């Protein structure tokens, strides 16, 4: 068995892989891959998936849950188009690659965009704090967890403007007060299910209020909400496996229990990074992510030897994103603390031999 520290598509519980595989072979006499999305059997799956999202995150009344396609990358455009109001003005917090892409897409659909805070000055190794927010914004957008740099907002970012968040890489890893947000979106493949579906949680008040002259039907969340995610063919398999994973999450104590496990995994690895003389973490301590842990080898430490050792320990996916280098241990919900311990043991052994 491999220890999958990959950033996404990500590890899911073995039990979910087994159940999803069973449904590929037999889902009430058909394969889940061939079943009609209009069939009563699949409509039930979609309804349960919506309900389980609401249950797992305590989504208040007055919000719609949607499973769409296009990834969080289309979410950058969908969020900007659906949140655009009279001012056509928005504030974005730039905490790295994904927020930068969100900024680019929002500008491209005509948002007069104000970067209200950025951590670019220090290579996106921290979360900006204590900045001013103009009062005339249609909305404020941020990325709760920065998958590539390994930084994470610790708690919800407060503002009086409607709040929009890309939660792709930390949704379902801990509890979140959904009532503070007008719109949340997340690609499924980081912590929810296989690639293909994109989750949207949208306040119903938001729907149909856009002032954008450009609004293709697929990008309009109102139409999707009216059709319960069935406006067109949904990503059937991804929704099914996400539903299985949500059942598994809730049966194992929900997001509160996941948070406790994720914190224990983070503490274990960060304490090794801090105490091992051959490694260091570039991220400001108070802004460290429990989902994506970035770390580097000290100058002169033999990286080929370390790479060989973790490969031999059946660890996969540990290389840092191609844009930043170093190492990144992605530790989504389904990664066990035993896998983290394997990595920590390799780091200790490496330093014993090469320190």
Ligand X SMILES: *Cc1c(COP(=O)(O)O)cnc(C)c1O
Q: Which residues bind ligand X (CB under 6 A)?
A: 8, 71-73, 98, 143, 147, 166, 168-169, 187, 190
Closer residue to ligand X in complex, CB, 8/235? 8
CA-angle at 355, arms to 309 and 353, nearest 5°: 45
Let me know: does 206 contact 63? Beta carbons within 8 Å.
no
Tokens of 205: 């008040």
Q: How many residues are there in the chain?
A: 355
CA atoms of 126 and 150, how far apart (whole Å): 9
SS (HEC) of the chain: CCEECCCCCCCCCHHHHHHHHHHHHCECCECCCCCCCCCHHHHHHHHHHHHHHHHHHCCCCCEEEEEECCHHHHHHHHHHHHHCCCCCEEEEEECCHHHHHHHHHHHHCCCEEEEEEECHHHCCCCCCCCCCCCCCCCEEEEECEECCCCEECCCCCCCCCCEEEECCCCCCCCCCCHHHCCEEEEECCCCCCCCCCEEEEEEHHHCCCCCCCCCCHHHCHHHHHHCCCCCCCCCHHHHHHHHHHHHHHHHCCHHHHHHHHHHHHHHHHHHHHHHCCCEECCCCHHHECCCEEEEEECCCCCHHHHHHHHHHCCEECCECCCCCCCEEEECCCCCCHHHHHHHHHHHHHHHHHHC
The residue number whose beta carbon is nearest to ligand X equals: 71
| Residue bearing tokens 């104590």 | 253
Catalytic residue chosen out of the listed positions 174, 190, 203, 222: 190
Closer residue to ligand X in complex, CB, 185/306? 185
CB of 344 to ligand X, least distance (A): 24
Dihedral angle over CA of 97, 99, 104, 105, nearest 10: 120
CB of 140 to ligand X, least distance (A): 16
Closer residue to ligand X in complex, CB, 166/182? 166
Closer residue to ligand X in complex, CB, 182/272? 182
CB of 187 to ligand X, least distance (A): 3
CB of 74 to ligand X, least distance (A): 7
CB of 97 to ligand X, least distance (A): 8
Closer residue to ligand X in complex, CB, 141/265? 141
CB of 351 to ligand X, least distance (A): 30
- Catalytic residue at 310? no
- Catalytic residue at 2? no
Closer residue to ligand X in complex, CB, 142/240? 142
Catalytic residue chosen out of the listed positions 138, 166, 170, 287: 166
Closer residue to ligand X in complex, CB, 72/346? 72
Catalytic residue chosen out of the listed positions 98, 170, 203, 222: 98
CB of 98 to ligand X, least distance (A): 4
- Catalytic residue at 98? yes
Sequence-distant (≥ 6) Cβ neighbours of residue 260 within 8 angstroms: none
What is the set of active-site residues? 98, 166, 190
């Amino acid at each position: 068995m491999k220890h999958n520290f990959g950033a996404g598509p990500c590890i899911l519980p073995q039990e979910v892989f087994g159940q999803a595989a069973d449904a590929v072979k037999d889902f009430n006499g058909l394969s889940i891959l061939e079943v009609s999305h209009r069939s009563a059997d699949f409509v039930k799956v979609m309804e349960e998936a919506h309900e389980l999202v609401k249950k797992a995150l305590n989504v208040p009344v007055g919000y719609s849950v949607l499973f769409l396609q296009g990834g969080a990358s289309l979410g950058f455009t969908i969020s900007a188009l659906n949140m655009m109001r009279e001012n056509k003005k928005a504030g974005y917090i730039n905490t790295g690659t994904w927020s930068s892409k969100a900024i680019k897409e929002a500008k491209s659909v005509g948002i007069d965009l104000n970067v209200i805070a950025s951590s670019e000055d220090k290579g996106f190794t921290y979360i900006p704090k204590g900045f001013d927010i103009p009062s005339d914004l249609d909305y404020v957008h941020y990325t709760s967890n920065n998958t590539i740099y390994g930084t994470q907002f610790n708690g919800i970012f407060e503002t009086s403007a409607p709040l929009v968040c890309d939660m792709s890489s930390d949704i379902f890893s801990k509890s979140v007060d959904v009532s503070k947000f007008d719109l949340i979106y997340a690609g499924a493949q980081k912590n929810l299910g296989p690639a293909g579906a994109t989750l949207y949680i949208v306040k119903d008040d938001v729907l149909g209020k856009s002032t954008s002259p450009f609004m293709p039907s697929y990008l309009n969340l109102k139409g999707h909400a009216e059709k319960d995610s069935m406006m067109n063919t949904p990503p059937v398999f991804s929704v099914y496996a996400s539903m299985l994973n949500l059942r598994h999450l809730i049966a194992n104590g929900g997001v509160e229990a996941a948070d406790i496990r994720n914190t224990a995994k983070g503490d274990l690895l960060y304490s090794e990074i801090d105490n091992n003389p051959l490694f260091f973490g570039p991220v400001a301590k108070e802004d460290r992510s429990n989902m994506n842990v970035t770390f580097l080898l000290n100058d002169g430490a033999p990286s080929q030897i370390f790479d060989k050792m973790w490969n031999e320990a059946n660890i996969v996916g540990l290389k840092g994103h191609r844009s930043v280098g170093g190492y990144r241990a992605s530790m989504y919900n389904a990664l066990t603390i035993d896998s983290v311990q394997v990595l920590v043991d390799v780091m200790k052994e490496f330093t014993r031999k090469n320190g």
